[in-house]
């Protein structure tokens, strides 16, 4: 009865997550909500006469019982926001759903979770970045989250699976269907190494208004959101803004100023809403995973043959830690004009990477 009541509470028209949490806080549990009097219900913030009548007169309990049969038959978990296996990062968000529906084998509280979002019209550049990102993250034991939509979303899922990275698809509809239907096969593959997650009950169709709601779960469940490609307007920017409002890290790959599908990324970087990623390795660096992973200290730096003495002196400065241009100039006694030429040469040879703030680090 308890689980049926929890599902039923989400089926009441007009009861959103905030009101549902108010009801639960007031009555202690979902079953008690449906046993309360109309006057008692109307004492709860957000509950007026119309919603109170809906709770008392609805067939939500019967519908919830029918849905639970389907959920149990298809081994779909129902995660209540107070449950231990509910995503704890998402629980910290003020608008977290009280219920989630989940099918899969990945840990929703994985130690490292990266959300990847972007345009539905991914270019060759965007697909290459998704491949680079997956290949770079593979050694770091991560879980990749996206939305199973066309474009960057599905590329992120595909590349994750190709690199044996568990990946979760957050859906804008119930788990009794897959949208777009074209992604049914990859969704099935994700169930073997990852899973599918939604806040929407069965029989919920993929209406347009569901996807902005879905985006807050993509942002809230992860440590960091990466925007690969995005137009000036769209769901990827919405997700980035939501992640920022949750005080989560946001990063973006830049593109040329004339590229339509990099306008959103460039805007996020320009307005300091996202950190700049020149390469997927930068994400690992920013998050400090190299130190924790323990591989960076073991890796021997391989330098190109024929570096000049000036270039070798720059490498020596950067061996201990990244450094700003001014610091490198002081330690190498190189003039700024000559230093700039050497830094560019080393970057072109893949020896070092430039970071925001005129900082350089060895690759």
DSSP 65-92: HHHHHHHHHTT-EEEETTSTTS-HHHHT
Q: Which of 115-124, 138-147, 168-177, 271-280 has the lowest mean pLDDT?
A: 271-280
Where do the CATH 1.10.10.10 domains begin and end in the chain?
Answer: 300-362
H/E run at residue 209: none
pLDDT tens per residue across span 64-85 = 999 999 999 999 999 999 999 9
Measured CA distances, 155 to 211, 216, 239 (Å): 18, 20, 17
* The pLDDT value given to residue 294: 41
Residues 209, 194: Cα–Cα separation, whole Å? 26
Where do the CATH 3.40.50.450 domains begin and end in the chain?
Answer: 113-291
Residues 6 or more apart whose Cβ sits within 8 Å of residue 337 = none
Q: Which of 153-162, 241-250, 286-295, 324-333 has the lowest mean pLDDT?
A: 286-295
8 A C-beta contact, residue 148 and residue 154:
yes
Compute the average pLDDT of residues 218-225: 96
DSSP 301-315: P-PPTT--HHHHHHH
Confidence class for position 357, pLDDT limits 50, 70, 90: low
Please choose, from the candidates 98, 2, 21, 8, the residue with its C-alpha nearest in 3D space to the C-alpha of residue 58.
8
Where do the CATH 1.10.150.20 domains begin and end in the chain?
Answer: 2-73
Measured CA distances, 194 to 28, 145, 189, 217 (Å): 33, 9, 8, 16
Compute the average pLDDT of residues 35-58: 90
What do you get for the CA distance between the two ends of the chain, in Å? 57
* The pLDDT value given to residue 292: 47
The fold of the 113-291 domain, in CATH, is: Rossmann fold (3.40.50)
pLDDT tens per residue across span 98-126 = 999 999 999 999 999 999 999 999 999 99
Average pLDDT, the chain: 91
The fold of the 300-362 domain, in CATH, is: Arc Repressor Mutant, subunit A (1.10.10)
Compute the average pLDDT of residues 146-160: 97
pLDDT tens per residue across span 245-303 = 998 999 999 998 899 999 999 999 999 899 999 889 999 988 888 754 444 444 456 67
Residues 6 or more apart whose Cβ sits within 8 Å of residue 45 = 19, 22
* CATH number for the domain running over 2-73: 1.10.150.20
Residues 168, 90: Cα–Cα separation, whole Å? 14
* The pLDDT value given to residue 286: 85
> Is the model's pTM score more than 0.85?
no
pLDDT at 1 over 70: no
333 three-class SS? coil
């Amino acid at each position: 009865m308890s689980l049926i009541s929890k599902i039923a509470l989400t089926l009441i028209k007009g009861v959103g997550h905030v009101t549902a949490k108010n009801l639960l806080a007031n009555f202690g549990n979902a079953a008690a909500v449906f046993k309360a009097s109309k006057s008692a219900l109307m004492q709860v913030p957000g509950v007026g006469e119309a919603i109170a009548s809906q709770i008392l007169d609805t067939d939500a309990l019967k519908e919830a019982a029918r849905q639970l049969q389907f959920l149990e038959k298809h081994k779909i978990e129902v995660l209540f926001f107070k449950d231990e296996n509910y995503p704890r990062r998402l629980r910290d968000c003020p608008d977290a759903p009280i219920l989630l529906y989940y099918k899969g084998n990945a840990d929703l509280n994985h130690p490292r979770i990266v959300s990847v979002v972007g345009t539905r019209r991914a270019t060759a550049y965007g697909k290459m970045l998704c491949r680079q990102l997956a290949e770079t993250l593979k050694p770091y034991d991560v879980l990749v989250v996206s939305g199973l939509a066309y474009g960057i979303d599905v590329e992120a899922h595909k590349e994750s699976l190709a690199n044996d990275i568990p990946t979760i698809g957050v859906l804008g509809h119930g788990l009794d269907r897959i949208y777009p239907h074209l992604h049914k096969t990859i969704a099935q593959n994700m169930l073997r190494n990852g899973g599918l997650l939604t806040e929407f009950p069965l029989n919920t169709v993929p209406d347009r208004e569901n996807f902005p709601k879905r985006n807050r779960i993509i942002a809230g469940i992860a440590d960091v959101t990466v925007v690969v490609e995005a137009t000036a307007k769209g769901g990827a920017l919405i997700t980035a803004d939501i992640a920022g409002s949750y005080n989560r890290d946001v990063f973006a790959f830049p593109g040329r100023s004339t590229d339509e599908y990099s306008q959103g990324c460039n805007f996020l970087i320009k307005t300091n809403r996202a950190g700049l990623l020149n390469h997927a390795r930068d994400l690992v660096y920013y998050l400090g995973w190299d130190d924790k992973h323990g591989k960076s200290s073991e890796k021997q730096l391989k330098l190109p043959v024929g570096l000049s003495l000036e270039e070798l002196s720059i490498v020596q400065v950067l061996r201990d830690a990244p450094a700003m241009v001014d610091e490198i100039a002081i330690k190498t006694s190189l003039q700024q004009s000559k230093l700039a030429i050497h830094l560019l040469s080393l970057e072109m040879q893949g020896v070092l990477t430039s970071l925001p703030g005129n900082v350089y680090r060895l690759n």
